[in-house]
Amino acid sequence: MKALILSGGKGTRLRPLTYTGAKQLVPVANKPILWYGIEGIVAAGITDIGIIISPETGEEVKSWTGKGDRFGAKITYILQDTPAGLAHAVKIAQPFLGNSPFIMYLGDNLIQNPLSPFLEQFTQKQLDGLILLRPVENPTSFGVAVVGDNGRVLQLVEKPQNPPSNLALVGVYFFDNTIHEAIANIQPSARGELEITDAIQQLINTDKQVDACTLDGWWLDTGKKDDLLSANQIILDERSTYNVEGDVDPQSQIIGRVKIGRGTKLINCTVRGPVIIGENCHLENSFIGPYTSIADAVNLIDAEIEHSVILSEAKIVNINHRIVDTLIGRRAQLTTAPQRPKALRFMLGDDSQVELT
């Protein structure tokens, strides 16, 4: 069994943050989104992993993620020159996949459920395909499935105007090698891409066995800012522990589940968890509220922040109003003059600078 993780694309829904980096490397609770998928796949016992990368961000993905040693896996990188669809990604990965069954995992997705039960069902029933589904309120924005009483998939439709169900395809799929023939027999869609939904429908049309499982845990597509902040909140809620390795002065107060990395200094600060703060940060005269992730080497002085994600080397100084629901990129600088603004809400990309006057 192998795995194929898709980590290409241009991340247009997270711009300006992703003008300078891969969306799959944006951190949730100070860990790149991509790594959660890798860890989940390895936990299911799959260690031979191919990662689809793009020309724009592939080298960054390779540099951050490496050869797989940190995960107990072997990682092979596969370049997709153009974003020509999910089925196209499988097509160009065929030399890596060979005749092995595999799991395909979209690198910007997070799911709560472990993968092992789905893998077991796929293997024991000797399925040609197994898809994961989740009920959604806006099925017109997703690929949706019609499923029979026995769990067999009857029909798939990509972003239908009149959805036949509210069961959206989660970005996790299990395939036997029959998927390659199915992909070879489909045509590009109206948007010029080889759609994985069309390939799965081809399996169904040729009487292959494709089943579905409905997730009972959460599923998050982190392609938008608010979804990423929701993912950060959920992960901090579920996995936070108290672990203070930095230097906290007597005037500072740590409340609840807070993790503070080595080399970080807190001076006259209040931190109310769940919160994670990385290494070598300097925080002074500040309040850090729940569901905040602060990456390495951040400077936070005379500021209040909560329910936000701050990337490495950002600098926030003299913001005399609470910052909420905010995503701030690497090396971004946010400062203000003495006047007090009425409200603040930001999405700042890497290297940006903002001064409020």
> How many domains does the chain divide into?
2
Which CATH number goes with the domain that contains 71? 3.90.550.10
Which CATH number goes with the domain that contains 350? 2.160.10.10
**Number of DSSP helices (H) and strands (E) in the chain, helices first:** 8, 32
Percent of the chain at pLDDT > 70 equals 90
What is the DSSP code (8-state) at residue 23? G
| 264, 228: one domain | no
- How would residue 144 be classed by pLDDT, with cut points 50, 70 and 90? very high
3-state secondary structure of 25: helix
- List pLDDT tens digits, range 70-105: 999 999 999 999 889 999 999 999 999 999 999 999
Which of 235, 254, 280 is the last residue before a domain boundary? 235
Percent of the chain at pLDDT > 90 equals 72
| 228, 323: one domain | no
Q: How far apart are CA 57 and CA 73, in angstroms?
A: 21
Token duo for residue 104:
């395909």
Cross-strand partners of 59: none
Nearest CA-CA partner of 132 in 150, 153, 149? 153
Q: In Å, how far from its chain's centre is CA 283?
A: 27
- List pLDDT tens digits, range 177-232: 999 999 999 999 888 899 999 999 999 999 999 999 999 888 987 777 788 899 99
| 86, 164: one domain | yes
| 76, 217: one domain | yes
- How would residue 19 be classed by pLDDT, with cut points 50, 70 and 90? very low
Token duo for residue 312:
């490495």
| 15, 102: one domain | yes
- List pLDDT tens digits, range 145-192: 999 988 999 999 888 889 999 999 999 999 999 999 999 999 998 888
| 265, 230: one domain | no
Q: Which residue segment(s) compose the domain that 274 sits in?
A: 240-356
Cross-strand partners of 178: none
Which of 235, 255, 280 is the last residue before a domain boundary? 235
Which of 235, 268, 296 is the last residue before a domain boundary? 235
- List pLDDT tens digits, range 249-294: 999 999 999 999 999 999 999 999 999 999 999 999 999 999 999 9
Is the confidence at residue 12, as pLDDT, over 50? no
| 194, 275: one domain | no
Q: How confident is the model at residue 152, as a pLDDT?
A: 94
- Residue whose structure tokens are 């740590």: 254
- Residue whose structure tokens are 């936990």: 43
The structure's pTM equals 0.88
Q: How far apart are CA 118 and CA 10, in angstroms?
A: 30
Residue-wise burial string across 263-283, b where 16 or more C-beta atoms lie within 10 A, e elsewhere: ebbbeebbbbbbbbbbbebbb
| 63, 209: one domain | yes
Nearest CA-CA partner of 303 in 292, 314, 290, 288? 288
Average pLDDT over residues 301-317: 94
Q: Report the mean per-residue pLDDT for the chain.
A: 90
- How would residue 357 be classed by pLDDT, with cut points 50, 70 and 90? low
Q: How confident is the model at residue 10, as a pLDDT?
A: 53
Q: At what angle do helices 33-43 and 58-65 cross, to 10 degrees?
A: 60
Is the confidence at residue 320, as pLDDT, over 80? no
Q: How confident is the model at residue 158, as a pLDDT?
A: 82
Residue 43: how many CB atoms within 10 A of its CB?
13
Q: How confident is the model at residue 341, as a pLDDT?
A: 53
Distances (CA, A) of 120 to 126, 131, 176, 205, 239: 10, 13, 14, 25, 26
Q: How far apart are CA 316 and CA 313, in angstroms?
A: 10
- How would residue 13 be classed by pLDDT, with cut points 50, 70 and 90? very low
